[in-house]
Structure 1
């Protein structure tokens, strides 16, 4: 697409997704925070471009987070999510097979059931994933959430496990220093604090990617600007003839221009 656009000199906006990290620190933990993450991840069975892709949880609240996630999933979709009217199916068979392979890369802490005929994969929580596994490298785009404990935020960011230019990043914290640290590290166009997904539905927020996650932005005014060609009507209603505007110039002329150029031009 970009090659075709380049041949025609046509402007493009590319949204490419990516691995949207979600960081939950000890100060940000609460049942409500976990419910928010679970809702955002498994909306449309995880098939949204800004879904939390991988959850990094501070080790002090790791097991409590897993327990709360289980409770939230049971509340949202019941013991049999395949019977829930609020739970979606996988978009096509090839993607179903890919997700099945990803599930095998970790320990299933919740979910894991599937039905190929129905393109159904239950909401699945994975833990104990070996470093370097493809599920930690590829965008999941499905109802599988790897949950990884961490001890120190600076060490987590230094380890380059998190894709800096993902489409979005999420952080749940009450610690302003930790929040600023994540915001400074990420190159994503959006870092959402203590909520997920909502920014994508706000027409006043420009939406788009950077680097591997895309190019350009749209939504609301940003979309209007992106798909428009602005014209400028730049005119003078009075013409003041100033002889010093024309050469030859003196040193004093140049000094005046430098000092007053924002009013002169």
Structure 2
């Protein structure tokens, strides 16, 4: 960033943050659970666009929790930390940070770990406090806090009260709910009824907003980000706009009127 600034080179800065996943009461819960577990546990949760925490309507919370547990078992077996397709934590320092997140939390499944192998079984945390360590920084690991909500207004308030996320995932077929969330919450990019897949297409720009980054890239958008569009106006000589000149009568009044 500093080196680019010295040379005035255009940049795009992708950061991260606490990307919410929202499951409304009309969602296909079994499919939603599969796609959430896929998004959360890819690379053991160590991706900047992983669902960081889950907001679910209270009417379907218990059912979704069961579906999440079943999906974890289907993908990674009874002992995910021993499954060959399940990743490890990148470093001992990061491993210790994640273990601290589990302390004093209501773990409903998972959370066992192997320090020598740097593996943590996928953990679901039920109703953590918003001021607990796990809710104050990006998790970047296989731990999923789950919080129930009653109304979409509650969801909007919860997300808007925190820094703008890099991604947002919404599971619902209700068009009005989709419009409310997409129009009122600022985030970098995301999916409706899926996770992660918005980054798999070259036709959508990918990037953050506010605290989660600046600029965007992917496909043609990468070309635009790192290119300068040279703007040139070719003016006619057939007539002139005389009121723009200082000597023109009423010129300033006309320009002010046009600029309103």
Q: State whether residues 190 and 196 of structure 2, in contact with CA within 8 Å, keep that contact through their aligned partners in structure 1.
A: no
SS at match of 2:88: coil
SS at match of 1:23: strand
Q: State whether residues 20 and 163 of structure 1, in contact with CA within 8 Å, keep that contact through their aligned partners in structure 2.
A: no
Q: State whether residues 12 and 214 of structure 2, in contact with CA within 8 Å, keep that contact through their aligned partners in structure 1.
A: yes
Q: 1:159 to 1:88 in 2, by over 3 A?
A: closer
Q: 1:243 to 1:15 in 2, by over 3 A?
A: closer
Q: 1:151 to 1:227 in 2, by over 3 A?
A: same
State TM-score, norm by structure 1: 0.87
Q: State whether residues 25 and 60 of structure 2, in contact with CA within 8 Å, keep that contact through their aligned partners in structure 1.
A: yes
Partner residue in 2 for 1:242: 239
In structure 2, how many angstroms separate the alpha carbons of the residues matched to 1:132 and 1:233?
53
Partner residue in 1 for 2:94: 95
SS at match of 1:39: helix
In structure 2, how many angstroms separate the alpha carbons of the residues matched to 1:232 and 1:130?
52
Partner residue in 2 for 1:137: 136
Q: State whether residues 164 and 188 of structure 1, in contact with CA within 8 Å, keep that contact through their aligned partners in structure 2.
A: no
Q: State whether residues 129 and 135 of structure 2, in contact with CA within 8 Å, keep that contact through their aligned partners in structure 1.
A: no
1:29 CA drift (Å): 3.9
Q: State whether residues 205 and 221 of structure 2, in contact with CA within 8 Å, keep that contact through their aligned partners in structure 1.
A: yes
Partner residue in 2 for 1:34: 33
In structure 2, how many angstroms separate the alpha carbons of the residues matched to 1:231 and 1:181?
38
Name the Cα RMSD after superposition: 2.6
Q: How many residues in Structure 1 have an aligned counterpart in Structure 2?
A: 257
Q: 1:62 to 1:249 in 2, by over 3 A?
A: same
Q: 1:232 to 1:100 in 2, by over 3 A?
A: same
State TM-score, norm by structure 2: 0.88
List structure 1 runs of 4+ shifted beyond 6 angstroms.
none
Query: Any stretches of 5+ residues in structure 1 without a counterpart?
Result: 260-265
Query: Any stretches of 5+ residues in structure 2 without a counterpart?
Result: none
